[in-house]
Structure 1
Amino acid sequence: MVRKLTRGAALAASLAVLPLVAACGGGDEDKAAGRAADGSSPVAAVVAPAKVEVIAQLTGCEVKIRTEAEELREGVCHTADGDFVITTFPKEELKEVWLESATIYGGKYLVGPRWAISAKPAVLDPLKAKVGGTIRDLGQRGAS
């Protein structure tokens, strides 16, 4: 009887501790967010959460900041491979809202944790090799 109570108490204690251990990731959420399930470049873990200037440096461009706002920062890059815009966000939710709004324009975007790059499709693949992320096709909805 005592043995069953001891086993039951040990099981209950381990189940009670499990959520606490799982919640204590040591700040690895941003690193984990940078590792895409599709096997994209591990460089994204280094980039995320990035500043516009960090991503620009990884791509080899000298960025010109064009938007400084509470909800996003945006910089423009001109390179031999093509021009692109880097947008960073303080929260992942703001990035998703921004991408949802961008569906009216359609197109493909290179997306990472709390950042997105807008460019012509031919420019996105070389950028992905440098900064990681995933290419999302937003299609085009509505407007004709």
Structure 2
Amino acid sequence: MVRKLSRGVALAASLAVLPLTAACSGGDGKASGKASDESSPVSAVVAPARVEVIAELTGCEVKIRTEAEELREGVCQTSVGDYLVTTFPKDELKEVWLESASMYGGKYLVGPRWAISAKPDVLKQLKTKVGGTIRDLSQPSQPSAS
């Protein structure tokens, strides 16, 4: 019972913060729902799914704010900008989280079992440090006609 309650509280807390982080993520008016094809020198290297490791790679001393079975979140405040690092024990949980985040729009830097929420210019800088793909969640993905 306590486990389910803490899980629900953690998920609700992370979803409650999404409007704030998405609002900060701005956008450039382009909505593709697809990953950006910008390449970076570290595009072949992607950070592992640990908040502390990702934070260290980005030059941040992270403050953990959510610790749950489904996700861990840490807040980073750096000279580059503020951002939220979220990690997941399974990629499926990351995709559920991103699907929920899509209702708020915005761009996210996404890797295997992790996502970073920040303003687009901050995401571009972080991508060079941790790899990943910038995903625009401004509009739902449209099936492609083949």
The normalised TM-score by structure 1 is 0.67
Task: Give the number of the structure with larger relative contact order, counting CA–CA contacts within 8 Å between residues 6 or more apart.
Answer: 2
Counterpart for residue 124 of structure 1:
123
Superposition pairs for residues 7-86 of structure 1, below 5 Å? 40=40, 41=42, 42-44=44-46, 47-48=47-48, 50-86=49-85
Counterpart for residue 92 of structure 1:
91
Q: Which runs of 5+ in 1 are unaligned?
A: 1-36
Instruction: Select the structure that is richer in helix.
Output: 1
Question: Aligned-pair distance for 1:104?
Answer: 1.0
The one-letter amino acid paired with 1:113 is: P
The one-letter amino acid paired with 1:56 is: A
What is the RMSD of the two structures over their aligned residues, measured on CA atoms? 1.6
Provide the C-alpha distance between the structure 2 equivalents of 1:67 and 1:43, rounded to a whole number of angstroms.
26
Question: Aligned-pair distance for 1:122?
Answer: 1.0
Provide the C-alpha distance between the structure 1 equivalents of 2:101 and 2:115, rounded to a whole number of angstroms.
11
Q: Which runs of 5+ in 2 are unaligned?
A: 1-36, 141-146
Counterpart for residue 108 of structure 1:
107
SS of the residue corresponding to residue 125 of structure 1 reads helix
Per-residue Cα deviation, 1:11-39 (whole angstroms, up to 9, x for no partner): xxxxxxxxxxxxxxxxxxxxxxxxxx975
Provide the C-alpha distance between the structure 1 equivalents of 2:38 and 2:64, rounded to a whole number of angstroms.
31
SS of the residue corresponding to residue 80 of structure 1 reads coil
SS of the residue corresponding to residue 86 of structure 2 reads strand
SS of the residue corresponding to residue 43 of structure 1 reads coil
Taking only the aligned residue pairs, the percentage that are identical comes to: 75
The one-letter amino acid paired with 1:52 is: V
Contact 1:87 1:117 in 2 (8 A): yes
Provide the C-alpha distance between the structure 2 equivalents of 1:78 and 1:68, rounded to a whole number of angstroms.
19
Contact 1:91 1:114 in 2 (8 A): yes
